[in-house]
Amino acid sequence: MSKKSVLVMGGTRFMGLTTVNRLIERGHDVTVFNRGTRGDILPAEVTQIRGDRDRAEDLAQLNDRGFDAVVDYSAYFPYQVTLLHETVRDIPALVHCSSSAVYAEEPVIPWPETNPLSPSRLWGQYSLNKLDGEAALREVRTSGSTAVLRPPYVLGPNNYNLREEFILNRILDDAEVLIPGDGQAAVQMYSTTQIAHSVVAMVESPPTGWEEYNVGCEWYLTLPGIVESAARVVGKPARSRVVGAGAFGTGLESFDATNILFPFPNAPLVEDVSKLARDGYLAPNETMDEMFAAALEDLLANPERRTWELSAAELAHGAVR
């Protein structure tokens, strides 16, 4: 394996930080570009370039540095995709993080990379941004190796989405866990450790040309199965109840992060990862129990995150603590 010079856009939280750490462990030279607002949390070996990716003059700092690959976790809007690739010259290999939210919500699972693309009613503007981001990338990325990743639900320590922590706190404190719909939708996960494994494998051995990859575990669970896994890890039974009211249990069609009844909607999300496996990028398996165990350790190490309140949606369904 040859040593690579890798630029990570973002790189100081969740998937980005885990990927930076794996790149360092694998012996690569890593540069991170971000605004520098999260303090000194990067490994000492990392070169940090501070700037705003919305400013061409800041991105221009990245030119002529001879990067072998760029990993982009922080392209949240299509104009950011366009600006990066119009400003930074000569990116031989790119790994671009998109989302499973670009897929039409087909009832038949698993979804292959050829599944129809469509704005998701569940994920609203986020889905539109990711779709438009992929379209913008196709416009500007006309040469070199490009891997577009479409992960499902991503779990791991320091998750900025209230997922594992939401369920674990309720079980730890003997509160009810309310499950939307009938709870029987099949959903798929991938951990930050697994994402990092797949991304670094693509950096070390890039695909030829443009490729899209579903990145997820080869298993899936129903919503009650997720709760049962958390309860096993905590070591106490969960008080759970199915409450109906659509995919989110709130009566809304789109996700509202300010009013969560349960951190996963009752809607199918299982991707076909056979292409990822075929090309040698599938990470070693992790179970749901292993993911919850890592999340529980992280939660207990950060006691400030053990303070929580029932959401308005939970209270509307009569949840009790």
In this predicted structure, what is the pLDDT of residue 254? 83
Per the omega criterion (within 30 degrees of 0), is the bond before 110 cis? yes
Average pLDDT, the chain: 94
Helix (H) or strand (E) holding 80: helix 78-87
DSSP, res 215: -
- In the predicted structure, residue 321 carries a pLDDT above the cut 90: no
In this predicted structure, what is the pLDDT of residue 41? 80
**What is the average pLDDT across 32-61?**
89
CB hemisphere CA count around 131 (13 angstroms): 15
Q: Tell me the C-alpha distance between 5 and 28, whole Å.
A: 6
Q: Where are the alpha helices (DSSP H) in 95-189?
A: 124-140, 164-172
Per the model's pLDDT, the better-predicted residue between 32 and 64 turns out to be 32
Radius of gyration of the chain (CA): 20
Using CA atoms, how far residue 222 sits from 123, 124, 195, in Å, is 19, 23, 22
In this predicted structure, what is the pLDDT of residue 39? 62
In this predicted structure, what is the pLDDT of residue 277? 98
Per residue in 104-153, pLDDT tens?
A: 988 889 999 999 999 998 999 999 999 999 999 999 998 999 999 999 99
CA 132 to chain centre: 18
In this predicted structure, what is the pLDDT of residue 196? 98
**What is the average pLDDT across 266-273?**
96
In this predicted structure, what is the pLDDT of residue 1? 72
End-to-end, the C-alpha distance of the chain in Å comes to: 53
Q: Tell me the C-alpha distance between 275 and 49, whole Å.
A: 35
- In the predicted structure, residue 37 carries a pLDDT above the cut 80: no
Amino acid at 179: I
Percent of the chain at pLDDT > 90 equals 83
**What dihedral angle (degrees, nearest 10) is formed by the CA atoms of 148, 152, 158, 164?**
180
In this predicted structure, what is the pLDDT of residue 35? 86
In this predicted structure, what is the pLDDT of residue 251? 81
Helix (H) or strand (E) holding 85: helix 78-87
Per residue in 175-229, pLDDT tens?
A: 999 999 999 999 999 999 999 999 999 999 999 999 999 999 999 999 999 999 9
Q: Tell me the C-alpha distance between 190 and 13, whole Å.
A: 16
* Contact in structure between 29 and 5 (CB atoms under 8 Å): yes
Q: Where are the alpha helices (DSSP H) in 1-55?
A: 14-25
Six-digit token pair at 52? 């705003």
